[in-house]
């Protein structure tokens, strides 16, 4: 197993430095020599779309993805239409920022009927695809950890995401592999191979033990139990050679100075990814 020899594929998923504005994140990456960034829409909205683009380009960064579209299920047709409209805005923002991929966090079910909600996800993607294609944006279905099935995503395994993605052209819809969400899955390596060229993104962090929180409990790479390198090598064997995002939801990380977080992130990336 070989370590990565440079940080040329390293991307800051902006949630990792949640306390930073987009300007601070872009400038921080430039200072740290991190070549990629994945902005979040609430940060882009804060700064303004055109200004966000200017800041990212000015810092010499490339955009690995935009986080996030999705959240398709809703109890009424009108509400689902509103979600679709919001996803179209997300596609436009992704195109404007120079991202190739919009990450989809597909959303929870509004009630106990999880199968119906899963159907709404497929419908939502189906309606979004032509618009995304026109804008040159691929949609990346990100399966979330099953512990977030009730609050964030009814798509919870890579196998399920693959099955959904395969309903569409590989140029339009793929999957995002985030080690935190999928590491526990007995079918992980088979599903990574199956995803193949549909892998549109690879996210790293770690699963710390004991796990302090369902959402804010992610660790820096090396602080937990995930076989990150093994998964990275499997993703590469499947054909993915794109950017690798560090995406950490963790209060202690968020409360640390951003420059320190980026320095630790680079070190741990070379050591553990």
The residue ranges that bind a copy of itself (CB under 8 A) are 109, 111-114, 118, 145-147, 149-151, 156-157, 159-160, 183-187, 207, 209-211, 214, 224-227
- Angle, CA 180 vertex, CA 176 and CA 182 arms, to 5°: 65
Give the nearer residue to a copy of itself in terms of CB position, either 2 or 210. Answer: 210
- Closest approach, Cβ 8 to a copy of itself, in A, equals 26
- Closest approach, Cβ 125 to a copy of itself, in A, equals 16
Closest by Cα among 73, 64, 87 to 15: 64
- Closest approach, Cβ 184 to a copy of itself, in A, equals 4
- Dist. CA 262–CA 40, nearest whole Å: 17
Residue 28 burial by Cβ neighbours in a 10 Å radius (0-12, 13-18, 19+): buried
- Closest approach, Cβ 180 to a copy of itself, in A, equals 11
- Omega of the bond leading into 210 within 30 degrees of 0 (cis): yes
- Closest approach, Cβ 123 to a copy of itself, in A, equals 16
- Closest approach, Cβ 156 to a copy of itself, in A, equals 5
Instruction: Provide the terminal-to-terminal Cα distance of the chain, rounded to the nearest Å.
Output: 10
Q: Residue 203 is inside which H or E element, if any?
A: strand 199-204
Instruction: Give, as one character, the DSSP assignment of residue 147.
Output: G
Q: Give Cα 118 distance to the centre of its chain.
A: 19
Residue spans of beta strands (DSSP E) within 14-141:
36-38, 62-63, 66-70, 101-105, 138-141
Give the nearer residue to a copy of itself in terms of CB position, either 146 or 257. Answer: 146
Computed from CA positions of residues 132, 138, 142, 143, in that sequence, does the dihedral angle turn out positive or negative? positive
């Amino acid at each position: 197993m070989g370590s990565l020899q440079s940080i040329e594929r390293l991307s800051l998923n902006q949630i990792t430095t949640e306390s930073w504005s987009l300007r601070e994140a872009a400038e921080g990456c430039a200072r740290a020599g991190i070549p990629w960034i994945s902005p979040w829409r609430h940060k882009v909205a804060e700064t303004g779309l055109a200004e966000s683009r200017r800041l990212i380009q000015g810092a010499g960064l490339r955009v690995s993805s935009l986080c996030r579209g999705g959240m398709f299920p809703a109890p009424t047709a009108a509400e689902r239409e509103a979600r679709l409209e919001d996803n179209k805005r997300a596609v436009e923002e992704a195109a404007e920022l120079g991202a190739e991929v919009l990450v989809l966090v597909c959303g929870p079910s509004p009630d106990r009927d999880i199968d119906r909600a899963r159907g709404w996800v497929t419908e939502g993607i189906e309606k979004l695809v032509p618009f995304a294609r026109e804008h040159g944006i691929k949609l990346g279905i990100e399966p979330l950890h099953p512990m977030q099935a009730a609050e964030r995503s009814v798509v919870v395994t890579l196998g399920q995401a693959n099955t959904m993605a395969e309903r569409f052209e590989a140029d339009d819809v793929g999957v995002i592999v985030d080690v935190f969400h999928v590491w526990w899955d007995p079918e992980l390596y088979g599903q990574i191979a199956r995803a193949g060229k549909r892998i549109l993104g690879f996210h790293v962090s770690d699963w710390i033990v004991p796990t302090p929180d369902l959402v804010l409990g992610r660790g820096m790479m090396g602080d937990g139990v995930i076989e990150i390198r093994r998964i990275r090598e499997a993703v590469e064997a499947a054909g993915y050679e794109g950017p690798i995002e560090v995406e950490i939801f963790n209060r202690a990380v968020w409360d640390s100075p951003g420059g320190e977080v980026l320095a630790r992130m680079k070190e741990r990336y070379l050591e553990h990814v």
